[in-house]
Amino acid sequence: MRILQHIEPSAPEPRRAICCLHSFTPGRVNLIGEHTDYNGGMVMPAAISLGIRAELIMMEEPEDEFSQAGEVRIASRARGETLCFGSEEIAEIASSVLLTGIELSTPVEVPGLEECQWGRYIVGCFILFEATLRLRGMDRTPWRRGTLEISLDSTLPQGAGLSSSAALCISILGQLNKVSGDPLDASTVARLAMYVEHRFVGTACGLMDQLAVLCSQANHFTCIDFVRFPINREFEVQYVLAHEALQQHQLLIFKTGVSHSLAESEYNERRASCERALVDLKGALGVEAHSLGELARCTPFRGLGEMETLRVLEGLLGENEGGVMRARRACHAMCENGRVVGAVQALSQGDARTLGGLMRASHRSLDSLYEVSCDELNYACKAVEEVAARVALGCGLNPEQAFIGSRMTGGGFGGSTIQLVHRSIGDKLVDCFCSPSNPYTAETGILPELFLCEVSPGFSIG
């Protein structure tokens, strides 16, 4: 595997290209339901209008005297780099992955890419795609006979909690699937993208991001219930259209400009804490449950509010400091599901006040119980809400209707917050935060970036 600086793929002679594909993969925000996907719970993301464009060109024979059959080149404009590898290198690692199994979480080493994370995402997609095809007894991947070039162009900020990594993996897997004649269904493609994160990058994420960027529909939020996922890898999707009273609202993304380095290790630690809490709770209660999401739907937790749930959990787990901490983590993972159910109803009924309250409650729980927020995310929520109230009043609008809640979105420890704002105040809010005298910059010294987005469709290719 080699990484070249600032080299774009050469423009092919048209007669030699046997396949040319263009795709767009959006990023996503999560309106509510955070850190619940890997806990067998509920989420409600939406794809956004920022994303990654990819162009694939497959040529029948090597393009020039320097290329060999089976050579792959992937250029990322955002990274200013081109990654080159041969299909034989992929085949070799795919064989070793097949010996152990695709769905494990053990890391896969990729020689030459130890320092190139984006390259590991790409190569991980090629390896798991090829391994899956071989497992199913399908023909070997078609680009072995020629050369393959993909160029990536992105409007999606990286590491901002908007799932550029899932968009990158779905771009590559979606292109490989298409060029191979669509052998894999959407659910398999999404799961492969998740295993790439687990095995090639070391992020123990759930499946929300991949499904959101792949399967979203225009103008709809995507409510996904993962309660069956730990049992049989199935999930239930419900597309939620906002009531017409909320259709004049847009997504406002507030990028805090910080991305704390502990995000990955803390993310994996939260997952491990929840797994341990589940084992201890099952032991203490003598019940069978596959996840905290499932447990939340059983006695004694069904129907309890947050404070009561926390009391019960602390009673069951809180014999020492570690147990108290796990009770708080489990409380978030369990109670967040009720907020998603409430948000689906509030969105469909046009109840801005309830929806805003649920978003704020979700943020508080992520901050104080799950402890994945940070000062910048908290300042951002506070600052944007205060400025929005002023701007709304200035426009003669009711602030509660014009600005619906604010919360962190994505894994946490930096990244972005998500707001729903009325179209008539969106631009004004963006302008306010462009000025260095805005309250977020006054507190943190960082100039944030704000994006107004539409609720968008998922991956498209043609």
Residues that bind ligand ADP (CB under 6 A): 52, 76, 78-79, 117-118, 121, 152, 154, 158-165, 168, 410
Q: Can you read off the two tokens belonging to residue 51?
A: 């994303």
Does residue 416 touch Mg ion according to CB under 5 A? no
Peptide bond before 107: cis, by omega within 30 degrees of 0? no
The minimum distance between CB 11 and Mg ion, in angstroms, equals 32
Q: Are 343 and 302 in contact (CB under 8 A)?
A: no
**Choosing among Mg ion, ligand ADP, none, which partner's interface includes residue 40 (Cβ < 5 to 8 Å by kind)?**
none
The minimum distance between CB 207 and ligand ADP, in angstroms, equals 14
What pairs with residue 59 in β-bridges? 17, 147
Which run of H or of E encompasses 67? none
In the bound state with ligand ADP, the residue whose beta carbon lies nearer, of 24 and 301, is 24
The minimum distance between CB 203 and Mg ion, in angstroms, equals 7
Applying CB under 5 A, which part among 39-47, 159-167, 180-188, 437-445 lies near Mg ion?
A: 159-167
Does residue 180 touch Mg ion according to CB under 5 A? no
Total chain residues near Mg ion (CB under 5 A): 1
Does residue 147 touch Mg ion according to CB under 5 A? no
In the bound state with Mg ion, the residue whose beta carbon lies nearer, of 49 and 165, is 165
Which are the contacts of 267, defined by CB distance < 8 A and separation ≥ 6?
Answer: 203, 204, 205, 372, 411, 412
Q: Is 80 left (phi over 0), alpha (psi -120 to 50) or beta?
A: left
How many CB atoms sit inside 10 A of residue 232's CB?
A: 8
The minimum distance between CB 74 and ligand ADP, in angstroms, equals 9
In the bound state with ligand ADP, the residue whose beta carbon lies nearer, of 133 and 258, is 258
Which run of H or of E encompasses 280? helix 263-285
In the bound state with Mg ion, the residue whose beta carbon lies nearer, of 17 and 212, is 212
Does residue 171 touch Mg ion according to CB under 5 A? no
Angle between helices 263-285 and 306-317 (to 10 degrees): 80
Q: Can you read off the two tokens belonging to residue 319?
A: 């014999």
Does residue 165 touch Mg ion according to CB under 5 A? yes
How many CB atoms sit inside 10 A of residue 390's CB?
A: 14
**Choosing among Mg ion, ligand ADP, none, which partner's interface includes residue 121 (Cβ < 5 to 8 Å by kind)?**
ligand ADP
C-alpha distances (whole Å) from 134 to each of 252, 356, 453 are 43, 48, 40
Distance CA(9)–CA(399), nearest Å, equals: 50
Q: Exposed/middle/buried for 244, CB within 10 Å: 0-12, 13-18, 19+?
A: exposed
The minimum distance between CB 127 and Mg ion, in angstroms, equals 19
**Choosing among ligand ADP, Mg ion, none, which partner's interface includes residue 151 (Cβ < 5 to 8 Å by kind)?**
none
Distance CA(161)–CA(140), nearest Å, equals: 36
Q: Is 374 left (phi over 0), alpha (psi -120 to 50) or beta?
A: beta
What amino acid is encoded at 15 in this protein?
A: R
How many CB atoms sit inside 10 A of residue 305's CB?
A: 10
Q: Which phi and psi angles does 17 have, rounded to 5°?
A: -75, 125
**Choosing among ligand ADP, Mg ion, none, which partner's interface includes residue 87 (Cβ < 5 to 8 Å by kind)?**
none
**Choosing among ligand ADP, Mg ion, none, which partner's interface includes residue 76 (Cβ < 5 to 8 Å by kind)?**
ligand ADP
Which run of H or of E encompasses 450? strand 449-453
In the bound state with ligand ADP, the residue whose beta carbon lies nearer, of 162 and 333, is 162
Sign of CA dihedral 298, 372, 368, 345: negative
**Choosing among ligand ADP, Mg ion, none, which partner's interface includes residue 152 (Cβ < 5 to 8 Å by kind)?**
ligand ADP
**Choosing among ligand ADP, Mg ion, none, which partner's interface includes residue 118 (Cβ < 5 to 8 Å by kind)?**
ligand ADP
Distance CA(275)–CA(209), nearest Å, equals: 21
The minimum distance between CB 238 and ligand ADP, in angstroms, equals 24
Applying CB under 5 A, which part among 160-168, 322-330, 344-352, 437-445 lies near Mg ion?
A: 160-168
Residue closest to Mg ion (Cβ): 165
The minimum distance between CB 168 and Mg ion, in angstroms, equals 9
The minimum distance between CB 392 and Mg ion, in angstroms, equals 33
In the bound state with ligand ADP, the residue whose beta carbon lies nearer, of 96 and 460, is 460
The minimum distance between CB 283 and ligand ADP, in angstroms, equals 34
Does residue 82 touch Mg ion according to CB under 5 A? no
In the bound state with ligand ADP, the residue whose beta carbon lies nearer, of 51 and 426, is 51
In the bound state with ligand ADP, the residue whose beta carbon lies nearer, of 160 and 425, is 160
Binding site for Mg ion (CB under 5 A): 165
